[in-house]
Structure 1
C-alpha cells in the first residue's frame, strides 16, 4: 500500500514540475528566444544604419526633431515686428536616439513572455514523452503491462493512442 501511495505522490509532484526534460525544454526555449534576439538585432541594426545615414524624419516641409529648452529663452522679432520668446535649441534627435530604448524594452518583455510561454508549451510536449519513455522502460524491464496515460491538453495524443492500441493488441 505504501508503494502505491508513494507512486501517486511522485506522479502528483511530477505533474506540477514544469521542467520535466530539461535538455529538450532548454533547447526549445533557446530556439524560440533566438528568434526574438535576431529580431532585436535586426531592428537595432536598421536604426543604427538610419543614424549613420540620417535623413529627415518629418516631411520635407518639416525638418529634424530638436529638443527645446524652456528654462533659457531667446527673444526673436517676427516679420510683423512682434517680439517672440523662443526656447533655446537643444539636442538634435534621430531615429536611433528616439527608438532604441523602447525597442530594447519591448523586446525584453517579449523575451520574458517567450521564455515563460516556451516553458509551459514545452511542458505539454516533454511531459508526455517522459511518461511514454518511463512506462515503456518499466514494461521492458518486466513491470506490469499498462496503457500510457497523459493529460487531456498534452501534445502527442494520437501517438499515445497508437502506442496504447499496439500494447493492447500485441502485448496483452
Structure 2
C-alpha cells in the first residue's frame, strides 16, 4: 500500500441498493446524525405538461421518470465530531474541498458514485491538530454522496439503523 488517500464503500448496515436521494443532518455539540435517504424511481413519466418548454428540455425529459425519496432511511450516528463539511449541490463529482479532498480521485470509476464511504489515509484527517481531536485514534474521515449533496465528516461512527422516512 502506498498510503494514498482512497475510499472504501461502507456496507455495515446493508446495501442501500439505489442512488441516495438526500442526506439530512442534525448537529448537536459534537454529535451528528445523518439520515441517508435512498431514491425510488416512480413508474409514471416525469412531466406531461412540457408544451411551453424549449425543445431541448422536452427531448431530455420526455422519457424520464421521477426519483423521489424512499419510505426508509439509514440513520447514522457520529460522535466526537471534530469537523463536518456539507456542500448543498455540485455540478460535477470532481468538486474539491479546500483540503484537496477530491471525490473523483478517491472513488474512481464507480458508477454511480453515490454512497457512504470511509476515507482511508485521509489528508484532511492527518491535518487535524491534536487540540482539535487529531490525537483521537478512533476518529475517521467519512464521505457521504447523494444526488442532492455531499458531506464530509471527521468523527467516530457509533451506530446506524434503518428507520421509517417520514
TM-score band, normalised by shorter chain: under 0.3
The structure showing larger relative contact order (alpha-carbon pairs under 8 Å, at least 6 residues apart) is 2
Name whichever structure is richer in strand by fraction. Answer: 2
